[in-house]
Chain A
Amino acid sequence: MVALRNSDKKLAHMHIGGQGEVSHFTNERMASKLIAIGVLPGTRIQVIRKAPFGGGCYVKADNLLLALRRDEACCIILR
């Protein structure tokens, strides 16, 4: 996997409305499930809102609406 560059961002750290393109994943097990659902390197992803009580976030990946836990969003690196 590519080393973190300055322009790389974790999805979990994005603000609401922030968007980017998936660069790679930092956890292989999470990656395998994310890819199966349809979040792949190159997918456009946007944070739509954060969950009440902290934690998860609600994202739009291409035309797919997804709920992710914080640790799941943490392993997605955007460029």
Chain B
Amino acid sequence: MQESKRVQVALIGNPNSGKTSIFNQLTGLQQKVGNFPGVTVDKKSGTLTLPNQSSVELVDFPGAYSLYPTSKDERLVVQTFVNPADPNFPDLVCYVADVTRLEKHLLLFTQVKDLGIPVILILNMTDVATQEGLQIDTGRLSRKFSVPVISVSGRTGEGLTALKQAILDVSEESRRPLADNLFYRLSQEEARLVTETQELLPHLSPYQRILVAHHWETLSGLSDQQREQLGELTSQIGFQDLPLQVRETMLRYDTFTPLVQQSIQQTRERGNSLTEWLDTILTNRLWGPIIFFGLMVLIFQAIFAWASYPMDLIDGGFANLSTWLQQTLPPGWLTDLITDGLLAGLGGILVFIPQIAILFLLISLLEEIGYMARAAFMFDRVMQTFGLNGRSIVALISGGACAIPAIMSTRTISSWKERLITIMVTPFISCSARIPVYTVLIGFVVPNKSLGIFNVQGLAFMGLYVLGILAALVAALAMKWILRTNEFSFLMLELPEYRMPVLRNILLTVWEKVKTFTLEAGRIILIISIVLWVLASFGPGNRMEAARLTALETAKEEQLDPEATSSLVASRQIEASFAGHLGRLIEPAIAPLGFDWKMGIALITSFAAREVFVGTMATIYSIGSDGDELTVRERLAQERNPLTGKPRYDMATALSLLLFYVFAMQCMSTLAVVKRETKSWKWPLIQFIMMTGLAYLASLGVYQWLA
């Protein structure tokens, strides 16, 4: 058996070093998203073909400032780099630095170099450097740091051939670099620690051992015995985490700052006047937020309105395909499974793609330009009050169109707690799928009258949206207090200079988001929609068949036309199905909310997506499955309570049902995406209980109060 592991190359660098641009240039569509073991951070990797046609695996690590991490993403870097047994431990590190900020970008480089892993220093943004009149002596840098130094531009692709050659050269060298000559002078404590851990951590370099001594409490890959001994040793030596860390960092700057200054020449005065000029408007106390909300309205409009054209096409296409298959294939349960289960599920997945693609097209455009960091800065304080991040506001607003792309957009929030809270509360914001339900029911609650210039129903509509927003904020506050974290919260955000966006980066982001949604969340959506199909199409024993026969008999007696007959059959059959039985089963639980078992069926089936409520109601009341909101509302208005003879949909019931749909987690696709983003079933489950629980209590309260 051949056991030759592919050479692993890690791409690392500070945030805003343009690392991702280089990654995209090198791997293009060859990249894939996977998992780092044991953490919720996505691993982007890709195959890179070298000049001699051999291939290496390139892994894009999250941006980090140092090996003393302050977020989960940053922690991943140190965690991997001090553990040679880790499957992602690199054979070679490509370190990306923004050459226009070199004196700020080399701290992590010197740390990685000291680990004893071979490093290539990549000076990125050389195109900008030339414009700004910077002259860099790469030969001198290379000699002083004793590593290969390659100048590239992630935007234009300049220098990438040289980079590939350098990767090949370094990976063919069998000699490991010496790791004894560090960039800083060890303190007494550190020197002692290095000597005394030689046997305890046998395969690690001296600096790796120092890092382990700093981080042993959080590192995976240590045995209990090692932990215990490290704990004893560090307290015995008096090895203090923070002071030593600060001392080390300062000494590193002292070493590399003069080297950088000797190697770089500023040939003319440099000014970032464009960025500063734009920011006087874009982050202005008054205009900043106004422009931001203007942009958000545009994004909202795009996912809300523009996406509806391709979405209608997808919907219509699947409906046609389904009809065609029904006519072509022999009738039977297999055909039904294909049309009503499989195709419905597939359509339900694909229909989200326009929204996801449009949202990420616009968001990554703003991110790429450098605007998103400004938005995070402007709203940080407000969002902090609710335990959220400045960037959460984008997710909350786009949640008004659809929670799915909104939740996927939280990836840029680096604090795990803030990201999690954003994910958990975003589905409270009323999304577009709730509109059909609101439209059907609102007429039962408030009359279609005018109040001054306002339409009362319009006001009620707005009220429902406000309720959703309030629920999101209150839930966020509650989670802020409940969730414990040992992460220290920082803003300290670098505001990158405004730059022209690179189309390749934007399109790759869109492609990646669409792909992960379709493949990972899509799988779950498909399974649930097949389960829902089984529930609605099959019944215990031969009840379904019996229901069909009685319905046909009734239709014959009443001399119904074929269309009305098939509507009646569908209605009786769904009553006899498992879903119908489930509806009856949960009736005692939902009766206090004013719901009967028919509404119970709709609650169950609309778990597929909220708007399915309308279709199910149409089927149950045998309007025919193509009944729109208006016909369904008319039919519901005629429905009488068999006991009292009063309208079934009185104000209390309708309001209770409305509130239920405002709060309840009635969307399998959202749950699937939350599972994908949090990498566990725990959070979608908690979210389901929290939202549906709140919905139940709200409906119970309002119905009992009004009825």
B683 at the A/B interface (Cβ < 8 Å)? Answer: no
Q: Mark A58-70, 1 if CB is under 8 A from B, else 0.
A: 1000111111111
Instruction: Name the residue on B nearest A25 (C-beta).
Output: B246
Which of A32, A54, A56, A64 contacts B246 (CB under 8 A)? Answer: A32
**Chain A, range 1-59, C-beta contacts under 8 Å to B:** 28-38, 40-41, 48-56, 58
Assign chain B's interface to a size class: 35 or more
User: Separation in Å of the A58 CB from the closest CB of chain B?
Assistant: 6
Which of B243, B246, B272, B289 contacts A35 (CB under 8 A)? Answer: B246
Q: Bound complex: CA of A49 vs CA of B66, how far in Å? A: 28
- Enumerate chain A residues within 8 angstroms of B646, measured Cβ to Cβ: none
Given contacts A38-B104, A52-B286, contact A32 B68 (CB under 8 A): yes
Q: Bound complex: CA of A47 vs CA of B65, how far in Å? A: 23
**Chain B, range 356-386, C-beta contacts under 8 Å to A:** 373, 376-382, 384
- Enumerate chain A residues within 8 angstroms of B272, measured Cβ to Cβ: 63, 65
**Chain B, range 79-104, C-beta contacts under 8 Å to A:** 100-101, 103-104
Q: Bound complex: CA of A14 vs CA of B227, how far in Å? A: 46
Q: Bound complex: CA of A56 vs CA of B379, how far in Å? A: 9
A51 lies within 8 A of B377 (CB):
yes
Which of A37, A41, A54, A67 contacts B65 (CB under 8 A)? Answer: A37
Given contacts A29-B242, A54-B381, contact A37 B104 (CB under 8 A): yes
A68 lies within 8 A of B285 (CB):
no
Instruction: Name the residue on A nearest B489 (C-beta).
Output: A69
B381 lies within 8 A of A55 (CB):
yes
Given contacts A48-B279, A68-B492, contact A55 B101 (CB under 8 A): no
Which of A30, A34, A41, A52 contacts B285 (CB under 8 A)? Answer: A52
- Enumerate chain B residues within 8 angstroms of A56, measured Cβ to Cβ: 377, 380-381, 491
- Enumerate chain B residues within 8 angstroms of A41, measured Cβ to Cβ: 250
Q: Name the residue in A36, A64, A72 with the highest tally of chain B Cβ atoms < 10 Å from its Cβ.
A: A36
B245 lies within 8 A of A32 (CB):
yes
Q: Bound complex: CA of A62 vs CA of B261, how far in Å? A: 14
Instruction: Name the residue on A nearest B377 (C-beta).
Output: A67
B107 at the A/B interface (Cβ < 8 Å)? Answer: yes
B242 lies within 8 A of A51 (CB):
no
Q: Bound complex: CA of A49 vs CA of B101, how far in Å? A: 22
Which of B68, B70, B104 contacts A62 (CB under 8 A)? Answer: B104
Q: Bound complex: CA of A55 vs CA of B382, how far in Å? A: 9
Instruction: Name the residue on A nearest B74 (C-beta).
Output: A36
Q: Bound complex: CA of A7 vs CA of B467, how far in Å? A: 52
Instruction: Name the residue on B nearest A59 (C-beta).
Output: B495
Q: Bound complex: CA of A35 vs CA of B376, how far in Å? A: 22
Q: Bound complex: CA of A50 vs CA of B280, how far in Å? A: 11
User: Separation in Å of the B277 CB from the closest CB of chain A?
Assistant: 12
Q: Bound complex: CA of A41 vs CA of B70, how far in Å? A: 21
Instruction: Name the residue on A nearest B15 (C-beta).
Output: A37
User: Separation in Å of the B240 CB from the closest CB of chain A?
Assistant: 10
- Enumerate chain B residues within 8 angstroms of A48, measured Cβ to Cβ: 276, 279
B381 lies within 8 A of A72 (CB):
no
- Enumerate chain A residues within 8 angstroms of B246, measured Cβ to Cβ: 28, 31-32, 35
A53 lies within 8 A of B70 (CB):
no
Given contacts A37-B492, A62-B104, A64-B101, contact A49 B250 (CB under 8 A): no
Given contacts A52-B285, A52-B289, contact A33 B490 (CB under 8 A): yes
- Enumerate chain A residues within 8 angstroms of B379, measured Cβ to Cβ: 53
Q: Bound complex: CA of A31 vs CA of B250, how far in Å? A: 11
User: Separation in Å of the B157 CB from the closest CB of chain A?
Assistant: 26
B275 at the A/B interface (Cβ < 8 Å)? Answer: yes
- Enumerate chain B residues within 8 angstroms of A29, measured Cβ to Cβ: 242, 488
B492 lies within 8 A of A33 (CB):
yes
Q: Name the residue in B68, B283, B289 with the highest tally of chain A Cβ atoms < 10 Å from its Cβ.
A: B283
- Enumerate chain A residues within 8 angstroms of B127, measured Cβ to Cβ: none
A36 lies within 8 A of B381 (CB):
no
A72 lies within 8 A of B490 (CB):
yes
- Enumerate chain B residues within 8 angstroms of A70, measured Cβ to Cβ: 381
- Enumerate chain B residues within 8 angstroms of A38, measured Cβ to Cβ: 101, 103-104, 107
A67 lies within 8 A of B493 (CB):
yes
User: Separation in Å of the A1 CB from the closest CB of chain B?
Assistant: 11
- Enumerate chain A residues within 8 angstroms of B101, measured Cβ to Cβ: 38, 63-64
Give 12 A-B pairs besides A38-B107, A49-B285 with Cβ atoms closer than 8 angstroms.
Answer: A28-B242, A28-B246, A35-B246, A37-B65, A38-B104, A40-B250, A53-B289, A56-B380, A63-B270, A69-B381, A69-B384, A69-B492
19 contacts between A and B (CB under 8 A): A32-B246, A35-B249, A38-B101, A40-B250, A49-B279, A49-B283, A49-B285, A52-B283, A52-B285, A52-B286, A52-B378, A66-B492, A66-B495, A67-B377, A67-B491, A68-B492, A69-B380, A69-B384, A69-B490
